[in-house]
Amino acid sequence: MVESSEKTPVSYAQDDDKQALLARLKRVEGQVRGLQRMVEQDTYCVDVLTQISAATRALQAVALGLLEGHLNHCVVDAARQGDPAAKVKEATEAIARLVRS
């Protein structure tokens, strides 16, 4: 697991944001367990593929929500402190990984 060395303030620290994010990840976990049940029940391959696409889209929706929070807090704070370029580059690299996954 890749983690920043020191505790950087996070955009989802507000309790409701955090709980909403955890709830969405919990749902994705449920979708992946649902995929396992489909395979155990010999469900037709194309139906399993359809649900894999749905789980992938759910993961992307979590990422996009997290990204909007990151831009609104971490990148905006860096802009106000006068030195946003590093945070913007870091965010763009995260977006590139999302686009290519």
Per CB under 8 A, 14 contacts its own copies: no
Q: Judged by CB under 8 A, does residue 34 bind its own copies?
A: yes
Distance, CA of 35 to CA of 49 (rounded, Å):
9
Please tell me whether residue 16 binds its own copies under the rule CB under 8 A: no
Q: Are 2 and 15 in contact (CB under 8 A)?
A: no
Shortest gap between Cβ of 16 and its own copies (angstroms)? 13
Tell me whether residue 16 or residue 29 sits nearer to its own copies (CB atom). 29
Identify residues 63-92 at the interface with its own copies (CB under 8 A): 63-64, 66-72, 74-76, 79-80, 84-85, 88-92
Q: How far is CA 5 from CA 1, 8, 12, 32, 89, in A?
A: 12, 9, 18, 31, 19
